[in-house]
Amino acid sequence: LKMQMHRSERFALISEMAASIAHEVRNPLTVVRGFLQLGKSSADEKLRRYMEIAIAELDRAASVLSDYLDFAKPQLNNVGKISVSEKMTSVLKIVSSYASMNRVEITSGIGENLYVSGDKSKLKQALINILKNAIEAMPDGGTLHVETCSSGGKVSVFVSDSGEGMTSEQLQKLGSPFYTTKAQGTGLGLMVTFRLLEAMNATLKYESEPGKGTKVCIVFPEAE
């Protein structure tokens, strides 16, 4: 018996597996984290320190799940026409508390009636990864600006931050697996993001200057 799978079937299978693994692994992590948190209050100084380390490492594991595996939501047939303005508004809501926690102000100019085609949850994952990075680049606060527009059959999304920026060497490494400059980073967010956007026939460009900030430009083919 010969078994053969097409690329797309294989990708669908892997996506489904990834989503269920993410789900199955996150639940026990959440339970363990809860007990460690509880135990912290009754533990002595040294034990408390160990528990803090354990919690930080659990959070890192959870980041790997959210950067790398979450996009592969198990629902099938999620592909279709997506309103970029609606998606952008909902994604900004998701990251807004993270932004205010970091004293980052969000400003936006989001155009109406912009449509692209693709998988909703994958686009959401890609945008969240980009926005999270922008916020994390501003540890002392700053401004995150998001803009969308269309022209000549293309829909563009711009995300700019007033954060620490990157050198040209750092820019070249973007998207390489496990490349991170953060203590708690996974270095998987942008690798996934580049792949997801590529699958939507979108292009992703970064412009950056150390100390000034970063501008991200995503260009999609416009859907009818």
Residues that bind ligand ADP (CB under 6 A): 129, 133-134, 137, 161, 163-166, 174, 179-182, 185-191, 214
CB of 170 to ligand ADP, least distance (A): 6
- Among residues 71, 68, 222, 219, the alpha carbon closest in space to that of 156 is found at 219
Question: Do residues 74 and 111 lie in contact, with contact meaning Cβ atoms separated by under 8 Å?
Answer: no
| Binding partner at 82 among ligand ADP, Mg ion, none, C-beta below 5 to 8 Å by kind | none
Q: Phi, psi at residue 132, to the nearest 5°? A: -60, -45
Q: Which residues are CB-neighbours of 223 under 8 A, at least 6 positions away?
A: 81, 82, 115, 116, 117
| Binding partner at 142 among Mg ion, ligand ADP, none, C-beta below 5 to 8 Å by kind | none
Is the Cβ of residue 72 or residue 188 nearer to ligand ADP in the bound state?
188
Determine the straight-line distance between the first and last CA of the chain, rounded to whole angstroms.
Answer: 44
CB of 24 to ligand ADP, least distance (A): 22
Question: Do residues 127 and 56 lie in contact, with contact meaning Cβ atoms separated by under 8 Å?
Answer: no
| Binding partner at 214 among ligand ADP, Mg ion, none, C-beta below 5 to 8 Å by kind | ligand ADP
CB of 144 to ligand ADP, least distance (A): 9
CB of 119 to ligand ADP, least distance (A): 20
